[in-house]
Amino acid sequence: MRCVTDCQQLDGVVVVLGAADAALGELAPSNVPLHISDRPDALGRIASAADAFQADAVVRIGAEHPFVDPVFLDRLATTAAAHPRCDYIGFCSQHGGSAGRAALGWFGDWCRTEALWRADREATLAVDREQPTRFLWTHPEYFSLRFIPLPSELEREGLRMASGSEEAWEHALTIHDALGHEDVDWRRIAGLLSGLPEFHGAAVEGEAVSSRAVE
C-alpha cells in the first residue's frame, strides 16, 4: 500500500476485500478507504468497488505483488491518457506474453470501468472470475487492448516475483532483508536476482498478444 500511494498519476487508492477477509483491513493505512464486498469472486469485488467509488477506470494490483513499482503504475495511467479509446492496458514481454500472466509481480494493469463491468456480466470461467482483468486481455475481439513492452532487464526466463505461495513469500522476505525496506525499486531487485538464480520461480507461459497493440 505504501508503494501504491507513492504514485503520482492515480486519483486515489482503495483496498478491496471480500467479506470473509474484512479483518485484513486493519493492516491498511488509516487514510486509505476500504471497500468490503459480499461478491463471491475477485472480478465481482473489483467491479463493485469501481461502481461504489464512481471510477472511470481502475488500476488493479493484487496483494500477492509486494514489489509493485509506482513507476510502472504511473506509466499505465499516462498511456491511458494518451490512448483514450483503450479498454485495457498492461505490460508484455518481447515474445508477446502478458506480464499479468507471467506473474512477475512488479506490475498492475489498467482497465476502463465500462469494460470491467462487461467482463463482470459475461465472464463465466472460474479463472476469469478470480483473475479480474483476464477476461479483457484474452478477448481482443471485444476490447481495445494496448501493451507496454517490459524493460529489457526483466526479459529473463523464469523471473517471477508474485508471492502466491509459501516458498515465494519466503523469497520476498529474503529480498527485503537483503535490500532493506526503503526504496526497494525494481532495478535494485533485478540487480540482486541477476546473481541469485535460486530466487527465480518457474517460468510461466503467457498468451500471445497482437503486435499491433504493443507500443
pLDDT digits 0-9 by tens, 42-99? 999 999 999 999 999 999 988 777 777 888 889 999 999 999 999 999 988 665 555 4
Domain residue limits, the chain: 4-213
Strand partners, 88: 111, 145
- Contact predicate 127/134, CB 8 Å: yes
Range from 26-35, 59-68, 138-147 carrying the lowest mean pLDDT? 59-68
What are the DSSP calls for 121-146, one per residue? HH--SHHHHHSTTHHHHT-TTTS-EE
The residue-averaged pLDDT of 127-135 equals 92
How much of the chain, in percent, has pLDDT values that exceed 90? 37
Is pTM beyond 0.95? Reply is no
d(CA 94, CA 86): 21
What are the DSSP calls for 139-172, one per residue? -TTTS-EEEEEPPGGG--TT------SHHHHHHH
Architecture of domain 4-213: Alpha-Beta Complex (3.90)
pLDDT at 22 over 50: yes
For residues 215 and 94, the model is more confident at 94
50: region left, alpha or beta (phi > 0 left; psi from -120 to 50 alpha): alpha
Mean pLDDT of the chain: 77
